Chain A
Amino acid sequence: MTSSMVEISSLRKSYGANEVLKSVDLQVARGEVTCLIGPSGSGKSTLLRCINQLEKHDAGILRVDGELIGYQLRNGKLYERSERELCEDRAAIGMVFQRFNLFPHLTVLENVTIGQVRVKGVNVAQAQAKARELLARVGLDAKESHYPAQLSGGQQQRVAIARALAMEPKLMLFDEPTSALDPELVGEVLDVMKDLARSGMTMVVVTHEMGFAREVADSVYFLDAGVIEESGDPREVLVRPASQRLQDFLSKVL
């Protein structure tokens, strides 16, 4: 078994004639935070969504915790496994979306319990106890009977993080978690994420928050036009970018 939580090699993905990922390699070590940065359309969200197979890739190896997510490798080909097996693999990977995607017809508490009850088969009382503990951790224990529409964007995103954590994931994916938030609400979400990083969670974060990347990330990957242009320690890559592309990008976002 390798020490990497995520191992990606020669990953390719096209939408029709448009090749969005051109042979991408990426390694995420256990307990580390990796940030994916790059201009919009660079393929960073697609790469993230391939990790839990919300997008199916066309070719290449993608392992999480040593397992191929939803595939079986035979004779040099990846055979899709059944939906149930894919769902089991997915349940161990938490995901937080740009637009929160909380279930609007369920209360905050139900949002955090539904996966535990319906997917993992935990009994309701236990699921609620765990949900309350997680809601306290993201500072929202007082809001458990509210509906998502009654919460601010920052609160909704914290509930979404609690919902993902309730499945006890070994890896957390964040797809631009603060991009849809009012500026004054960004901090509360980043604080929860920093706290999560300190607790040793392995995280892959697509972000435009360069401050967060510099402060929290163990490594940074810069994608441009489906290719990883530069990667490495954020204090190195973000401070002294080698490529012209990254220099241009950073001069625009900072």
Chain B
Amino acid sequence: MPDEASSSTPVVVPLRHPLRWVASAVVAVLVAMFVHTLFSKIPSGQTVCQQVNGQRVCGPQQVWRFGWTEVFHYLTDPLVVQGVEMTLFVTVMAMIIGFVLGLIIAIMRMSSNRLLSSIAWLYTWFFRGTPVYVQLLFWFNIAILYQSFTLGIPFTHAFTLATISSNSIFTVIRAAIIAFGLNEAAYFAEIARGGLLSVDEGQLEAAKAIGMTRLQSLRFIIVPQAMRVIIPPSGNEVISMLKTTSIAVAIGLPELLYQTENIAARTYQIVPMLIVASLWYLAVTTVLSVGQFYVERHFAKGALRTLPPTPVQRIRADFAGSFVGRRWRMR
């Protein structure tokens, strides 16, 4: 008899958690209150009149508290879109400089040559130790220190191949890219070094034993494995860089925040323009986060016996039955 079987072998009853229910209720109410204010209206201070059934009715004008009408209007404004493009361009260029230079510095840091490793250490010390904002202003004002750059024999003026003035090299855009790129290299060097050190020493030995050179071992064996450790913090760095570019407003780089601030100064739509900027930053970081998930999954090959499911696979699995059972259970 099934009843006998269940009574003779005791079944585990999980502990209930009533406080979790109370906390959930409190949080739910707070969220509801906030969402309500998001979509509430307030009087604008102006009076509007309209014709209702042939009669002229006047009353205070009601507008969205958060200025959604203006937000929606300026979200795709050509200047704003140009600002987004500039933000993306500077981010991508700075990250490329940061990754390439950072990897070189990481490898220099691990070199057995004391001079190379000391220089790498000094680089990281300097660029991590001063604010990126200060570095940005430095590169923008570099012409004060060096009026021009000359290609020739070091320490002499005897022979010059070419001379370029600083102002023609360090335009606003290039100053921003160089400042952010060099700063990023210092951080990425540490991330890359951590990644390379995380790979077991035996891997390099095995690669050497089949006759690989140091460069081949790095490229085919060490770096692909280090990527698993390098990618999550690098994703952070990309997202952080995207937002850091906004401080280049200080040198007049026409990026996203610069454009929205300009529009705000012209139209007095201060909060709506901040929301426009925030929505764009959020949209781009969301796309980047999704990209990061797939890159991480790619480099997890071999490290995990089974790869984590993609969001699509997870949703499918949820609808296939484990929806209530696994992820949304609260006791």
Contacts and interface: CB of A to CB of B under 8 A. Distances in A.
Contacts of A20: none
A69 to B, nearest CB: 12
A19 interface: no
A170 interface: no
A99 B205 CA distance: 11
Contacts of A101: 200, 202-203, 205-206
Given A87-B211, A87-B213, A150-B305, 15 more contacts: A52-B209, A54-B208, A83-B214, A87-B212, A88-B211, A95-B209, A101-B200, A101-B203, A103-B206, A103-B225, A104-B303, A105-B301, A114-B210, A115-B210, A149-B304
A107 B224 CA distance: 13
Contact of B224 (A84, A105, A119): A105
B202 A103 contact: no
B221 interface: yes
B171 interface: no
A67 B64 CA distance: 85
A252 interface: no
Interface in B209-241: 209-214, 216, 220-221, 224-225
Classify the interface of chain B: helix, strand, loop or mixed. Answer: helix
Nearest to B221: A103
Contacts of A167: 210-211
A90 to B, nearest CB: 5
Interface residues of B, number: 24
A119 B205 contact: no
B241 to A, nearest CB: 27
A114 B217 CA distance: 11
B129 interface: no
Interface centre among B210, B213, B216, B303 (most CB of A within 10 A): B210
A134 interface: no
A164 B209 contact: yes
Nearest to B201: A101
A52 B212 CA distance: 13
17 contacts: A83-B213, A87-B211, A87-B212, A93-B209, A94-B209, A95-B209, A97-B205, A99-B202, A101-B205, A101-B206, A103-B203, A103-B221, A105-B301, A115-B210, A118-B216, A119-B216, A163-B210
A148 interface: yes
